[in-house]
Structure 1
Amino acid sequence: MKFNLTYKLIYLFLIGSFYSCSITKHIPEEERLYTGATLTIESDSVIDNKPALKAELESVLRPEPNSKFLGMYLGLYYHYKNQKEHPGFINRWLYKQFGEAPVYQSDVETYDVEDLLLNRLENRGFFYSRASSAFQEEEKKASVDYTVKVTKPYRMESYQLDTLPNPIKKDIQDLVKESPFKEGMRFDLSSMKLERKRIDQALKKKGYYNFNNNFLIFEADTNRYDNKKFDLYLKLKNEVPEKSLIPYRLSKINIYPNYEVSDSVQTATTRYNEKNYIQKETFFKPKYLDPFIVLNEGQLYNPEDSRNTARRLSTIGAYKYVNIQYKELDTIATDSMGSLEANIYLSPLNKRALRAELQVVTKSNNFAGPAFALTLSNRNLFGGGETFNVSPKIGYETQIGGEKNSGNTSLELGLENELIFPRVLFPIKIDNNFFKYSIPKTKISLSIDYLDRTDLYTLLSGTALFGYLWDANRFVTHEINPISVNYTQLYDTTPEFEEILDNDPFLRRSFEQEFIAGLTYSFSYNEMVDTQKTHQFYVNFTFDIAGNSISLFGKDQGEGNPKTFLGLAYAQYAKADLDLHYHFNFKKEQVIAARLFGGYGLAYGNSDVVPFVKQYYSGGPYSVRAFNIRSLGPGTYNPDTDGTNSDYFDKTGNIRLEANLEYRFPIVSFLKGAVFADAGNIWNSKENPTYNGKDKFSSDFLSELGMGAGVGLRVDIQSFVIRFDLAAPFHNPALPKGERFHFDVSKPILNFAIGYPF
């Protein structure tokens, strides 16, 4: 049976759950299992923010006891199972995934924990406190009760600056005035560390290139008081280097636009905007590179400007390395000012690159076949960081099973040309300083596609885009295409296909809209760039509107006929999508990933149906994986029982809802595994008579979701992922009510794809 291994894993996991409560028989005779510790705080005064103090103290309670799941020690159970002479492959794998070594009473060093508790209390101003502990022992288990008796804390009476040399004295004096430290605050070592970092970062922005926060030291004086008060003094440590106490200015900025490590001599220097551009020949034109550099001669050293410059240069897309180095220049410090030379080394990527992609497509109508795409890139095309991509593609599909029909083969050819400028192309000059994080890119693309469906039709389509793409900050990206034009032409239609269109007016009208012109906008918020975060969120919102502008020039073709523009019927609609992702990284390489998607398209004005190429579909390797690509829905429609034959076409609708949940885990080396469940469907907001009314969205939509579950295998090599997902449906909305819930593992769907689904 195909799922023998899966069932065996589930069986062993459940058996482990039942038996993990009896792990006491494995505990050595002279030991007790450590079950954790409790902490009690006793105080002779009111403690500000007592929960935060208790949380910090509890963080030092060591060691951590063995984890429990629903009251059972699963990890400990699999550890003991693995200690057998022949544990078997499955038990070894379960131990590697979930096993934990036992923590015994003898592993607990209560005196060390008491010292840590007192240390944390002193760091927060509770000096002369006391800590004690006592074991609570049962037959085979033991816990610890810790008690801390907290004294009244020391509080600050004043915060002032000790004697310092100029010019740093005045700068630190100004920063001390802005300090969050206030009279009466409790002594807190962590706050003092943060204060040192705050002052250091502020001084760096004022030009103190050689300063370090470790040069600062705090001293607390209690001699003037007998009621637990202190004066806090900020001073410099002894023997701080003199060069650390003066600010630095940038006296020279050198940029190497085409730097190679092997280069020893650069022959040509171009002076532009008070910067030196040094290159053997003009690789990157200074006037185009200069806006990315926010460093200027004569300004004070500022590490934030350095980071901004490096980030902006790296977004151009022409460089693999950006390295900014500073060199101290010999100067006479009569004005208490140092000088720096900034050298910006830019190592370019290969000017040309070639990427190939091979796909295998399978569809619900038994169509399958390969698709092959190439992308040829030319970087820095005109000497201004431009990138030109040419992407030809070819795809072939044939009907490999079932009853052969007309249109049982199809050939698709495509060619896309894309030109990206790392700057704003706009009739009115826009100040690049308005975009502080990164300079927007201008994208121009032109593509053409040819689709030939044997004995049915030929479809020719072309798309032109002009728009802008930019990062507002590390997480937020905007993309707007004020010009988005799509043209489709259906020709060489056969009588059989014309009969299909006659029977499906919605389909005919979706093809008749030959001209689509409008605007698209996309907003993305992506926390996935923070790979160390436990909770990661991703949000994408896309808005697409077409036909409003050209409707002003539309020509009336008579009652019942759509208006035309330049002799072409044009589409008028609005469409919005919202895509939400969440990742919970709870262990090394173990992730629970979730996704929600919702989309709606509204046809109006010159259109009563959204164009076919803009409609939604459901099913496939990036959607509901238990259903073939574009095969789910719309609604509860079933072509096998509803007396219609629409297997020629992908199932589409103007409403789409989907939800996905997936658990990802490591298996061995670069091999990863997954267990997942998906749900989703598409609907129409207006009933299509062809689908016998089963496609219309209603309040009963939850019962019309297609649902499936499965397992996955992924080859993940340095973030390049080849994915295999095997899934089977357990709720099929195309079946009659009462028969929809059925986990049909006899006909699983195998999905092959590149990259993770979400």
Structure 2
Amino acid sequence: MRFIKRINTTAAVLMLVILSVSSCTTIKDAPSGVPFVYRNEVKIIDRNIAADERKTLQENLGNYWDDSLYANRVQKFLVFTVLDKPPVFDTANISASIAYMQGYLQAQSFYNSALKDSVRIDSSNKNLQKTFVRMNIKTGKPTIIDSFGYAFDNPDLKQLSELHRKESAIRRGKSRLTRTVLSTELDRLTGIYRNNGYYFLRKNNLIAEVDTADAALLELTLDPFEQAVKMAEVAARRKEQPTAKVLIKERKNEDSTLALQDERDFDVFKVGRINFFPETKFTDIPDSILLHTGRFTDVYTTPRRGNISIYQSLGKFHRRPILEHLYLTPGELYNDSMYFKTINNLSSIGAWQQVDARNVVRGDSVDFNFFMAPALQHNATVDVEASRNSGDYLFGSNLFGLALNLSFKNRNVWRRAIQATTALRAGVELNIANSNAPGGLLQTLQLGAGQSLVFPRFIVPFERIRAKNYNNVRTVLNLNASYTDRKDYFRLRSVTANWGYEWQHGRQAWLYRPLNIELYGLDTLRFLRTAFSENPYLTKAFNTGTVISQQVSWRYTFPNRRIPGTNFFRVGVEEAGALAGLIPAWRANIYRYLRLESEYIKHFDFRKTTLAMRGFAGVGYNYNRLDKFGKTLPFFKQFVAGGPNSMRGWNLRQLGLGSSLLSDTSSTFRDRYGDMQLEANLEYRFPMFNISSVKFNGAVFTDIGNVWNVHRQEELPNSEFSINRLGKDLAIALGTGLRVDFSYFLIRFDIGFKLKDPARLENNGWLDPWNFTWRNNEFPATINPLNERPMYRNNYALQLGIGLPF
């Protein structure tokens, strides 16, 4: 109860502050002495629709005021509002707004809505006569589709439609009659027809005929009183639940000049000849190439039927990657999906910078000519990275990181469109604030090298897989080596190699690595050995061994249903040592664990602002029974929190574990790694101002979460996850930030305050806003008797990031 009370009190204080400031509205360039539009409001007064839909309708209807009645309010710095150049109020403009709003409501299936305006003018100030315009709307009930079918003259179209009827999103008696529903159905049918040979057919060749008349009125009767009763009954039914009948038909074109084209629209075509020109230059003219195909000296034609040809002169590309990404078959019905799949997959390989097509109709066939402009085969890049661990801007102890990345890429290895990348990396971390600190100026040195090969197909040992239902199919081989020298703490050497497959299916993206091998060598130095004496649990996390694992990752992206925005969901699984650990000779030197993580990101994109939410959960379980590996994951596989993309009130690796204080009172090594992490983030983004083409945007955010161990450890009390202690262990940050958007990249500055810090001894971890200090008080020596130095924790953190955090 105390935890909930503290949240409610803090929230109430923040809400009062925000409300008191946000009530301020500045008026710029208002007309003097005449009524002007000060505020618009849309209010739906009936209650026959759900509360969330009513709220969405009111927000969207606010965008349909006529420009002459729209009060342009711009939000500045989240809480200040500016009314810029409000228009003069004129009652004649209300009718236009009513028409716009009725059109929108009809598009949302409300065909019986009633709109009534309400106007109030505040003339207390003769120079500023504020006009409040309100639109009261009674939407009525939405119109439901109670009958749905197809009425094609062409029997093949009707048969195809009925065959795929179950795929329709329209449900009789449930689906609303909206333009979006009808348009989606026409798009679906168009795709089906074009995938079955209808090359010329487009969406505008179809029409959805809607009939809202009641069938009872069509029954003839000579009794006028009986007819009146029927009409009354129909009116009552329509009021109770309006319905409509929908028929999908061919659009009849009355223009005789288009008769020939109309006939071709509903003709079926087959795939004819297919020609590839993989060495096309940007300056080449396709028509000229087709007229002079005899100039090519290297021509490959399929042996069975000469319907597929590849024209080259320099022989830069082997035929295999081209034919493996061809999904059209000569002689079969034209398939629109396979046509675009061919173009998209050839473009995604990387060997070609641009892929265009020129199609020619020949009788009842279509010939396809693909013009492929090669990308630059070799290129080298040099990147410089800079970062700053900015937890102590006010009190020193800053770490400045600098890294140099070199990469060399070959986009066409062995003429088979294989992508090869060689990368070199060198980085340092400097203590620029205090070169006399332990370790001196140079805190960390990192060297790395890597080689990757990306094959544009599945490579499996037993049989060939032609992934006709997948996109962007790849087989990836990675080899990497790195060396990290953290001065006077440790030296870490690693070599990793993995073999895996990547592919996409619709909105889903998969990564599977059946074999991942990681070799590590670790030297512990004097400061880390000192940390071992203060935090004995570290001796089990910092150990050496071999990882033999397999990894699976699944990503799914999909749009919101009502408010514009996107959703991103990711799940990752890594299993190590399950099979290799059964071999006695290997068992003593390999890690055995299961590691799971999932992430969900959701965006609501409003007219000028964005609400972004993120949730993350990860857990790892070490089931190796050897004491050498302890009960935790190796530290390079554990979870960490803090930094510019996580809990932004803390520096990187400076939050956790749970509510344990041992790491906070360590005199040397204060990094923390855990086997479990929970985190939730909420961020509201809004525009501020522009300088030339550079956009300055702002954000307010909150981060909630922590990291824990899975197993209880006596030497590290309160570090394990416990549902009973979750309220105490959760850390909460509040903050704001500035985003400088250069279009091609974005720089982010954030400041986060520790609203609730599990390591804060006073006030049950909560920040006292009335007695705010930049630092916590000194930890008592009883927490860690081995540390004789006074230790403090900051109540804030400054973060520098590139790109948005999520």
- TM-score norm. by structure 1 comes to 0.77
Q: Which residue of 2 aligns with 1:724?
A: 749
- 1:670 correspondence with 2:709: no
CA separation of 1:376 and 1:251: change in aligned 2, threshold 3 A: same
- 1:539 correspondence with 2:539: no
Equivalent residue runs for 1:362-511 within 5 Å: 362=389, 367-401=399-433, 404-406=437-439, 409-433=443-467, 435-438=468-471, 440-473=473-506, 475-491=507-523, 493-494=524-525, 497-498=528-529, 500-501=531-532, 504-511=535-542
Q: Offset of 1:494 from its aligned partner? A: 4.7
CA separation of 1:35 and 1:662: change in aligned 2, threshold 3 A: closer
- 1:248 correspondence with 2:269: yes
Equivalent residue runs for 1:111-130 within 5 Å: 113=98
Q: Which residue of 2 aligns with 1:619?
A: 642
8 A Cα contact 1:308 1:437, kept in partner = no
CA separation of 1:176 and 1:225: change in aligned 2, threshold 3 A: farther
Give the Cα–Cα distance (whole angstroms) in 1 for the partners of residues 103 and 491 of structure 2.
Answer: 80
Equivalent residue runs for 1:730-745 within 5 Å: 730-738=755-763, 740-742=765-767, 744=773
Give the Cα–Cα distance (whole angstroms) in 2 for the partners of residues 713 and 125 of structure 1.
Answer: 42
SS state of the match for residue 466, structure 1? strand
CA separation of 1:317 and 1:267: change in aligned 2, threshold 3 A: same
- 1:171 correspondence with 2:156: yes
Give the Cα–Cα distance (whole angstroms) in 2 for the partners of residues 154 and 92 of structure 1.
Answer: 43
CA separation of 1:366 and 1:21: change in aligned 2, threshold 3 A: closer
Q: Which residue of 1 aligns with 2:797?
A: 749
Q: Which residue of 1 aligns with 2:682?
A: 661
Q: Which residue of 1 aligns with 2:709?
A: 684
Q: Offset of 1:122 from its aligned partner? A: 13
Q: Which residue of 1 aligns with 2:367?
A: 341
Give the Cα–Cα distance (whole angstroms) in 2 for the partners of residues 382 and 245 of structure 1.
Answer: 45
CA separation of 1:267 and 1:404: change in aligned 2, threshold 3 A: same
- Root mean square deviation of aligned Cα: 4.9
CA separation of 1:343 and 1:745: change in aligned 2, threshold 3 A: farther
- 1:318 correspondence with 2:344: no
CA separation of 1:392 and 1:109: change in aligned 2, threshold 3 A: same
Q: Which 10-residue stretch deviates more, 308-317 or 29-38?
A: 29-38
Q: Which 10-residue stretch deviates more, 513-522 or 192-201?
A: 192-201
Q: Offset of 1:327 from its aligned partner? A: 1.3
Q: Which residue of 1 aligns with 2:590?
A: 570
8 A Cα contact 1:363 1:628, kept in partner = yes
Q: Which residue of 2 aligns with 1:559?
A: none
State how many pairs are aligned.
Answer: 689
8 A Cα contact 2:98 2:115, kept in partner = no
8 A Cα contact 2:77 2:698, kept in partner = no
Q: Which residue of 2 aligns with 1:695?
A: 719
Residue deviations 1:456-489 (CA, integer Å, cap 9, x gap): 543211111111111122x211111111111111
SS state of the match for residue 440, structure 1? strand
Give the Cα–Cα distance (whole angstroms) in 1 for the partners of residues 77 and 731 of structure 2.
Answer: 35
Residue of structure 2 aligned with 1:519, choices 536, 547, 550: 550
Give the Cα–Cα distance (whole angstroms) in 1 for the partners of residues 78 and 567 of structure 2.
Answer: 34
Give the Cα–Cα distance (whole angstroms) in 1 for the partners of residues 297 and 178 of structure 2.
Answer: 55
- 1:595 correspondence with 2:617: no
Residue type at the aligned position of 1:442: T
Give the Cα–Cα distance (whole angstroms) in 1 for the partners of residues 58 and 763 of structure 2.
Answer: 56
Q: Offset of 1:186 from its aligned partner? A: 13
Give the Cα–Cα distance (whole angstroms) in 1 for the partners of residues 802 and 645 of structure 2.
Answer: 10
8 A Cα contact 1:172 1:199, kept in partner = no
8 A Cα contact 1:366 1:399, kept in partner = yes
Residue deviations 1:399-441 (CA, integer Å, cap 9, x gap): 44567335873321111111111111111114314x5131531
Equivalent residue runs for 1:74-113 within 5 Å: 101=86, 104=89, 106=91, 108-110=93-95, 113=98
SS state of the match for residue 331, structure 2? coil
Q: Offset of 1:294 from its aligned partner? A: 0.4
8 A Cα contact 1:409 1:453, kept in partner = yes
CA separation of 1:650 and 1:317: change in aligned 2, threshold 3 A: farther
Q: Which residue of 2 aligns with 1:289?
A: 322
Q: Which residue of 2 aligns with 1:209?
A: 199
Identity value in percent: 23
Residue type at the aligned position of 2:613: A
Can you give the 5+ residue segments of structure 2 that lack an aligned partner in the other structure?
Answer: 1-14, 123-131, 221-226, 232-243, 290-294, 392-396, 776-793
Q: Which residue of 2 aligns with 1:579?
A: 599
SS state of the match for residue 606, structure 2? strand
Give the Cα–Cα distance (whole angstroms) in 1 for the partners of residues 595 and 283 of structure 2.
Answer: 53
- TM-score norm. by structure 2 comes to 0.73
8 A Cα contact 2:64 2:100, kept in partner = no
Q: Offset of 1:370 from its aligned partner? A: 1.7
CA separation of 1:54 and 1:285: change in aligned 2, threshold 3 A: same
Q: Which residue of 2 aligns with 1:70?
A: none
Q: Offset of 1:738 from its aligned partner? A: 1.4
Residue type at the aligned position of 1:255: F
8 A Cα contact 1:125 1:154, kept in partner = no
Give the Cα–Cα distance (whole angstroms) in 1 for the partners of residues 550 and 139 of structure 2.
Answer: 65
CA separation of 1:100 and 1:680: change in aligned 2, threshold 3 A: farther
- 1:280 correspondence with 2:317: no
Residue deviations 1:539-563 (CA, integer Å, cap 9, x gap): 11111111121211124xxxxxxxx
SS state of the match for residue 459, structure 2? coil
SS state of the match for residue 380, structure 1? strand
Give the Cα–Cα distance (whole angstroms) in 1 for the partners of residues 682 and 246 of structure 2.
Answer: 56
Residue type at the aligned position of 2:645: Y
8 A Cα contact 1:638 1:735, kept in partner = no
- 1:236 correspondence with 2:255: no
SS state of the match for residue 512, structure 1? coil
Q: Offset of 1:703 from its aligned partner? A: 2.4
CA separation of 1:648 and 1:443: change in aligned 2, threshold 3 A: same
CA separation of 1:398 and 1:105: change in aligned 2, threshold 3 A: same
Give the Cα–Cα distance (whole angstroms) in 1 for the partners of residues 39 and 431 of structure 2.
Answer: 64
8 A Cα contact 1:463 1:485, kept in partner = yes
Q: Which 10-residue stretch deviates more, 475-484 or 369-378?
A: 369-378
Bigger relative contact order, structure 1 or 2 (CA pairs below 8 A, ≥6 apart)? 2
SS state of the match for residue 678, structure 1? strand
Q: Which 10-residue stretch deviates more, 195-204 or 392-401?
A: 195-204
8 A Cα contact 2:145 2:175, kept in partner = yes
8 A Cα contact 1:361 1:371, kept in partner = no
Q: Which residue of 1 aligns with 2:241?
A: none
- 1:549 correspondence with 2:579: yes
Q: Which 10-residue stretch deviates more, 137-146 or 612-621?
A: 137-146
Give the Cα–Cα distance (whole angstroms) in 2 for the partners of residues 58 and 461 of structure 1.
Answer: 55
Q: Offset of 1:639 from its aligned partner? A: 5.3
Can you give the 5+ residue segments of structure 1 that lack an aligned partner in the other structure?
Answer: 1-9, 42-46, 67-72, 80-89, 163-168, 332-337, 556-563
